[in-house]
Amino acid sequence: MVANRGYASTSAATRLKLIEAASDMLDEEGHPAFTVRRIAARAGVKPQLVHYYFRSMEDLVVTVFQRSSATYFRLHDEALSGPRPLHALWHLNCNLPEARRVMEYVALAKIYPRLREAMRETGENFRAIQVDLIERISAERGLVDAPMTAPALSALLSALARAMLIEGNVGMEEGHEGLRAFVEATLKIYEPD
Amino acid sequence: MVANRGYASTSAATRLKLIEAASDMLDEEGHPAFTVRRIAARAGVKPQLVHYYFRSMEDLVVTVFQRSSATYFRLHDEALSGPRPLHALWHLNCNLPEARRVMEYVALAKIYPRLREAMRETGENFRAIQVDLIERISAERGLVDAPMTAPALSALLSALARAMLIEGNVGMEEGHEGLRAFVEATLKIYEPD
DNA sequence: ATGACGACTGTACACCTGTCAAGTATGGCG
DNA sequence: CGCCATACTTGACAGGTGTACAGTCGTCAT
């Protein structure tokens, strides 16, 4: 009584299942769980299928990362088109699972050089977009007493969000509330209510 | 011709060699290289000695972390006793190998719960010390228009330093210069030249 | 000199890692 | 019908992981 031999699922479907399983794995168990067998088990397929769809683990992790980035990009784009783009961006950085996952990618980047390269590239892209936005806002408002340069503000927003996520992971919370208040106050310079 | 049977080295010496090898390993190769055999090889001893001196890898990593913290504490204490403690602290956070190593500990903390616990504890201790310092400075200078609370400034200084180290690891630099300028300017409020 | 003890070695275990080669089933197309 | 590319399975590889435990050797106190 062999179970399911009518290959109902297409290539794309199984491939996607693997990518999603890997993604969820990173969210819920972190980089140590990023292994062929555990990901396959979570996707409900045999481990060898991972290498059927991806040449190597490096291939898989890069693919997963790019999917993360694509999702993030959509939301990022959406957020930046809204009425208070910087506030929306800050909210994104703090709350999105794609942002939380970054720390796992950082850990995996030590093992997979091509992931590191991909992270640098997309990181720089996002920063460039944000710098453009901030400079545009500054120009529109005629901000001469901005507390920092546009690249610095972009870096600050992701740095603080990320650092708070890291510390939160370890169980530290002190100073976070004050930090959020500081960011809100800073953003108010660019985007008053 | 068996080589070195006169056990010249005492227990403490070999133990220390292992701790130092593990520490260096984290600096130079990162968390994936934190394994029994590679650490032993670097220390120039047989792998089995790791478990002779440490019950488990978790024991070792916690010990290594605590040594890191102790070293950091000494320099931290020293820096905070100087003429411009906040500037010195910022310099420490940006440049010390003990600070750079933190990201590796973060990665390892996903595997070793006791490391996580140790990190939370010492992290909170350092923050408490810094909060005290900042509040003292604020009181002395009668700062009423401080840009953020004391815990927030403490968190900000480590968050920004850490984030810049992470991004630097991946190869990103944009915004860092402006970020440093921002921190310098902020610190000038507390510690004018 | 004998025995205890601390430092270290030899050998081994069970498990997990990524990766590969060869085989089998399936649905669609001629 | 027979062919064939696609989707998947079987079985296995060489190497790595942490950990255990019984020995052996050297030093020192008795």
**Within 10 Å of residue A112's Cβ, how many Cβ atoms?**
20
Is the separation of the CB atoms in B87 and B36 below 8 Å? Answer: no
Q: For chain A, how many structural domains are there in total?
A: 2
A127 in the same domain as A43: no
- Tens of pLDDT along chain A (193 residues) come to 334 455 656 678 999 999 999 999 999 999 999 999 999 999 999 999 999 999 999 999 999 999 999 999 999 999 999 999 999 999 999 999 999 999 999 999 999 999 999 999 999 999 999 999 999 999 999 988 899 999 999 999 999 999 999 999 999 999 999 999 999 999 999 999 8
Interface check for A114 against chain B (CB to CB < 8 A): the answer is no
A28 in the same domain as A95: no
Q: What is the DSSP letter of B82?
A: S
B43 in the same domain as B31: yes
Terminal-to-terminal C-alpha distance of chain B: 66
- Tell me whether residue B158 is exposed, middle or buried, using C-beta atoms within 10 angstroms of its C-beta: 0 to 12, 13 to 18, 19 or more: buried
Which of A31, A55, A79 is the last residue in one of the domains? A55
A93 in the same domain as A9: no
The two three-digit tokens of residue A112, written as one number = 């997979």
Q: Could you give the CA distance from residue A66 to residue A23 in angstroms, rounded to a whole number?
A: 11
Q: How many residues does chain A have?
A: 193
A85 in the same domain as A43: no
Which of A13, A39, A55 is the last residue in one of the domains? A55
B128 in the same domain as B44: no
Q: What is the DSSP letter of B145?
A: S
Q: Could you give the CA distance from residue A180 to residue A174 in angstroms, rounded to a whole number?
A: 11
Range of the domain at B127: 57-190
Q: Could you give the CA distance from residue A153 to residue A101 in angstroms, rounded to a whole number?
A: 22
Q: pLDDT value at position A9?
A: 62
Cα B12 → chain centroid: 23
Tell me: the pLDDT tens digits for B158-173?
999 999 999 999 999 9
A179/B152 CB distance under 8 A:
yes
Smallest Cα distance from A172 to chain B, Å:
6
Tell me: the pLDDT tens digits for A11-42?
789 999 999 999 999 999 999 999 999 999 99
Rounded distance in angstroms from the CA atom of residue A8 to the C1' atom of nucleotide C27: 10
Of B175, B31, B185, B159, whose CA–CA distance to A178 is shortest? B159
Q: Is the dihedral of CA A153, A189, B183, B132 positive or negative?
A: negative
Assign residue A46 the CATH number of its domain: 1.10.10.60
Residues 125-144, chain B, touching A (beta carbon < 8 A): 127-128, 131
Q: pLDDT value at position A53?
A: 97
B61 in the same domain as B17: no
Q: Could you give the CA distance from residue A28 to residue A45 in angstroms, rounded to a whole number?
A: 19
Average pLDDT, chain A: 94
B26 to chain A: closest CA residue: A110
Q: Could you give the CA distance from residue A106 to residue A91 in angstroms, rounded to a whole number?
A: 21
B170/A127 CB distance under 8 A:
no
A170/B120 CB distance under 8 A:
yes
B21 in the same domain as B3: yes
B118 in the same domain as B34: no
Of B159, B61, B50, whose CA–CA distance to B110 is shortest? B61
Residue of A127, A130, A180, A182 to mutate, testing the B interface (most B Cβ within 10 Å of its Cβ): A182
A159/B179 CB distance under 8 A:
yes
CA distances from B150 to A159, A175, A184, B136 (A): 19, 8, 16, 10
B70 in the same domain as B51: no
Rounded distance in angstroms from the CA atom of residue B41 to the C1' atom of nucleotide C8: 15
Q: Could you give the CA distance from residue B167 to residue A156 in angstroms, rounded to a whole number?
A: 12
A181 in the same domain as A89: yes
Name the pTM for this structure.
0.93
Is the separation of the CB atoms in B109 and A103 below 8 Å? Answer: no
A10 in the same domain as A25: yes
Which of B9, B39, B55 is the last residue in one of the domains? B55
Q: pLDDT value at position A8?
A: 54
pLDDT less than 70: residues of chain B: 1-9
A174 to chain B: closest CA residue: B151
